[in-house]
Amino acid sequence: MLRSYCVQEARSRPPARRPARSSRAPFRAQTCNFDVLYAYLTCGSESAAPCALAPAHTRARVHERTPGSGAPPSTHGQVCGRQSARLRLCQHTGAKDHWPGQNQAKSRVRENSRNATNPEANRARVKKWKEDNPEAARANDARLYLKNRDQRRVGMKNYQQANRPTIRAKARVRAKERRETDTAFVITGRMRSRLGAYTREHNVPKSGATFTLIGKSPDEFRQYLEKDGLQVRQTQCDHIFALASFDIQLPSHQARAMNWSNFQLLTQEENKDKASKLPTKAMAAKVDPACWPDGVTMDMLPDIYPGWATPLRMHA
């Protein structure tokens, strides 16, 4: 026998009984929703997982009218007659709630109006959501970028061409602020500038990203340089074995010259006096033997520079 179903909307608290004579309309206890009936009757899964009921104060129940039929079949699909926009139909049938599709433009206008009214609160809400859901945020950003990639590229290109002076001015101000507060940013700029200038001078392309060649992140590189007590901001980064000691045209030599172990901090006076000389034995001992220039041995290195107080420092 074909059974018939209806959707009964019930509140968590039963409505209080009203007097027989009342000016208010009676509470409508039942609403017919044929989407729910279709979703349930066309679902062939016997173990369909129950869908979560959205509002706490309202829940949808599917009741079987045939007496003694057991538990109501409420595990297959649900659409609340009042707030169907927050609920979904059966996941097994693939049926969808029609509210978002029919009212997408209206919903977008309402959301944009709300965000424009209080943009600070909207930015805070979006930021908190991204912090709480980093994986979902990255996936969503990637999906949106791929969806509008061509349009975004054209828009960014047009904006850069039309606002080039403004962009450069903002970049200079931002870079100045970061140089005053971020030591890793200072090191990054120095390393990229030094290697880029040297390769351009010899008409040779870089064999890789600067810090890929160095082998450490900017912050790790800063910690290594400052381990002896000197500060990056008051000193200069020196190649222990000078770049001129390597055949910079070979990618392997670029990696050896830019290896993190081939750097040290010197004062401006010390760096100017050392120049491109071979390092002292104490300096060369810091460098990974695999990164030494070809043909250089320990016997070729001086013990100390003339006028220096120690093999590592000009002044004690």
Residue 292 makes CB contacts below 8 A (sequence gap 6+) with 241, 256, 284
User: How far is residue 5 CA from its own chain's centroid?
Assistant: 48
Lowest mean pLDDT segment, chosen from 44-58, 166-180, 287-301: 44-58
- pLDDT of 50 above 70: no
- Mean pLDDT along residues 48-53: 41
38 and 83 housed in the same domain: yes
> What is the reported pLDDT for 219?
93
- pLDDT of 245 above 70: yes
Is 95 within a domain? yes
96 and 110 housed in the same domain: no
pLDDT-derived band of residue 238, with 50, 70 and 90 as boundaries? very high
195 and 296 housed in the same domain: yes
> What is the reported pLDDT for 23?
55
Residue 244 makes CB contacts below 8 A (sequence gap 6+) with 276
Closest alpha carbon to 77 in 64, 60, 57, 54: 60
Domain extent, residue 119, equals: 105-147
Helix-strand-coil split of the chain, %, nearest 5: 50, 10, 45
Q: What angle do CA 55, 60, 64 make, to 5 degrees?
A: 170
- pLDDT of 111 above 70: yes
136 and 222 housed in the same domain: no
Contact 92, 34 (CB under 8 A): no
DSSP label of 278? P
94 and 115 housed in the same domain: no
- Mean pLDDT along residues 222-249: 92
Closest alpha carbon to 261 in 213, 296, 189: 213
Edge-first strand listing for the sheet containing 30-31: 30-31, 5-11, 58-64
> Which two structure tokens, joined as six digits, stand for 295?
């043909």
State the Cα–Cα distance between residues 284 and 158, nearest whole angstrom.
Answer: 51
- pLDDT of 68 above 80: no
